[in-house]
Amino acid sequence: MTASESPRPVGLSKSRIMAGLQCHKLLWWMVQEPAAPELQPDELAQAVMDRGTRVGELARSYVPGGVMIDLPYNAYAERLARTRQALEDGAPAVYEASFRAGGIFVAVDILKRDDRGFRLIEVKSSTSVRDHHIPDVAVQAYVLRQNGLDLVGAEVMHLNRDCAYPDLSNLFVRSDVTEAVSAIEQSVSGWVARQSEMLQGLIPDVPIGPHCTAPYECPFMARCWPTLPPHHVSTLYAMRRRALELDEQGYQTIHDLPEDMPLGRIADRQRRAVKEGRTIVEPALAGALEVFVPPITFLDFETVGLAIPVWEGCHPYDAVPVQFSCHVQAADGGVTHHDWLAEGPADPRPALAARLIRACESARTVVAYNAGFERACIEQMAEALPILATPLRSIVARLVDLLPVVRNHVYHPDFGGSFGLKSVLPALVPDLRYDNLTIADGVTASFELERLLVNGDEIDPAARARIRSDLLRYCHQDTWGLVKLLERLRELVKAAS
Ligand code: SF4
């Protein structure tokens, strides 16, 4: 925008004020470029929003008897009128109660009447009250008071990790935040004044910083953050804070770091690999590989973390395994593959556990990458399925983690400071690529699995078959990748001897 163009005047909503509290530049772009591609939710962001909507809908049933202001969000005048009417009629609660004051529009998740006045209830799909929830509620409280409402309390109603299906009577916790909200409520008018003034001007100059990722990752990172050169000091393994200091001292990349500058053990190996442009292999790798005794099963799970549990004993956001892939390598090197993917909304664990036990029964060693995750999944199934607990725990007893073996003994310059499988595999086993897969990361896999299992009926059969095939290919790639990774590590030992 040029200086001669003046921005159009705008109203503020609660979400815009919250964005402005994170960063004025972010708010400026939200208001001046509402059609910016960065602001259009992708499928994952939409799924998160849909989850919030489902949690919000369910939360209302825990504060029953209310009147729903069931109108499109932007039907502002009608929403205000319908809310006023519901309050005049003495409704015990109003859901999506809408108010406006000083140019700010808010829709309160649940406004509950009690003996002394009203309680504002903000529903969150998190499992605790977070710092940024307080200003969010304060904005609503401010608008309600400006409307003359007798607000006697404010609460955040969030999910309860102690709740276990099927008893959902304690699915939500209502945390009183009245005091914290009161402490900052008088600041709201100042926030709004500063944001409104800022929005009347040209794009504000805001430096990048920690606010770019907290409380939410800003969608405009690509506009503001510079493209870093390869091997920037920020890629140093586990030295994030030190990297900032090094950057300030003028060291831009790992190539610039003097040999005698003390670094952590792994970061030091990284520096050697980057400077020498080769893979560093520690002599102790040979010994570390001795525990991988054949026959070996290479194992990987995919999980879903449902906000609202639907399977026996599960809590909100428990990571429940719903898919696995196993490559089984015999002593003679021959490899067979086993996999399983849940179908439909029934509890997947009994069938998955039975198939997993069979796939692992011949193995002396069960290999996973970052095995703590697989261990936790199997332990959780052992708890849920006592009849299978012994063979499941026998898998845990044979479990060996390949990640620390790589992290403690090998560094390839292309790891980029990460030992995640998606960083390690392309560097050490370049034939194995993830960029040709439709599903190429765990977050997308989890989202697709949840969609498939919980809302599978709403997906047409051809699309469902395609998603299943994509998921099976992705999980297969992870365990085939482990087979090839172990093979590659053994080659590195041979080459070094
Ligand atoms: S990337 Fe950072 S500085 Fe840029 S708009 Fe977002 S929060 Fe503001």
Average pLDDT of 14-28? 97
- The residues pairing with 174 across neighbouring beta strands, listed in sequence order, are 157
Q: Among 18, 24, 208, which is best to mutate for testing ligand 1, by the most ligand atoms less than 8 A from CB?
A: 208
- Least confident range from 8-22, 75-89, 464-478: namely 8-22
Q: Comparing 54-63, 239-248, 297-306, 362-371, which segment has the lowest mean pLDDT?
A: 239-248
Examine the pLDDT at 253 and tell me if it is beyond 90: yes
Q: Whose CA is nearest to atom 5 of ligand 1?
A: 26
Tell me the C-alpha distance between 371 and 291, whole Å.
Answer: 15
Q: Residue 436: what pLDDT?
A: 83
**Rounded mean pLDDT, 259-263:** 92
Least confident of 6-15, 29-38, 406-415: 6-15
Mean pLDDT across 142-147? 96
The minimum-distance atom of ligand 1 relative to the CA of 25 is 5
Looking at residue 8, what is its pLDDT?
Answer: 40
Mutation test residue for ligand 1: of 132, 195, 212, the one with most atoms within 8 Å of CB = 212
Question: Has residue 4 got a pLDDT over 70?
Answer: no
Alpha carbon distance 354, 385 (integer Å): 10
pLDDT at 10: 57
Q: What percent of the chain has pLDDT over 70?
A: 98
The arithmetic mean of pLDDT across residues 6-31, rounded, is: 85
Alpha carbon of 9 to ligand 1 centroid (Å): 22
- 130 vs 134: CA distance, rounded Å: 8
For residue 237, what pLDDT is reported?
94
| 224 CA to centre of ligand 1 in angstroms | 6
CB of 218 sitting under 6 A from ligand 1: yes
Atom of ligand 1 nearest to the CA of 207: 3
48 CB near ligand 1 (under 6 Å) = no
Q: What is the pLDDT of residues 222-251, one digit of tens each?
A: 999 989 899 999 999 988 778 878 988 999
Average pLDDT over residues 461-489: 95
For residue 497, the model assigns a pLDDT of: 79
Quick check: 59 and 123 in contact, CB under 8 A? yes
Q: How far is the CA of 213 from the centre of ligand 1 (A)?
A: 8
Verify whether ligand 1 is closer than 6 Å to residue 23 (CB atom): yes
The pairs formed by 231-236 with CB atoms below 8 angstroms and a separation of 24 or more are 231/255, 231/274, 231/413, 231/416, 233/257, 235/416, 235/417, 236/263, 236/267, 236/270, 236/271, 236/417
Task: Tell me the pLDDT band of 64, cut-offs 50, 70 and 90.
Answer: very high
Confidence of residue 374 (pLDDT cuts 50, 70, 90): very high
- Give 423-450 pLDDT, tens digit per residue: 999 999 999 877 888 988 888 999 999 9
Considering only CA atoms, which residue is closest to atom 1 of ligand 1? Answer: 221
* Interval 142-171 mean pLDDT: 97
Nearest CA to ligand 1 atom 3: 208
Among 24, 198, 224, 225, name the best residue to mutate to test ligand 1's pocket (greatest count of ligand atoms within 8 A of Cβ).
224
pLDDT (average), residues 180-188: 97
pLDDT at 248: 86
Averaged pLDDT for residues 115-140: 97
How many angstroms is it from 193 CA to the middle of ligand 1?
20
pLDDT at site 440: 86
166 exposure class (CB count in 10 Å sphere: 0-12, 13-18, 19+): exposed
Nearby residues of 443 by Cβ (< 8 Å), 6 or more positions away: 44
C-alpha separations of 463 from 324, 444, 467 in Å: 21, 16, 6
Residue 5 pLDDT class (50, 70, 90 cuts): very low
Closest approach atom of ligand 1 to CA 26: 5
Domains and CATH numbers, the chain: 12-199 (3.90.320), 286-496 (3.30.420.10)
Query: In whole angstroms, what is the distance from residue 345 CA to residue 457 CA?
Result: 10
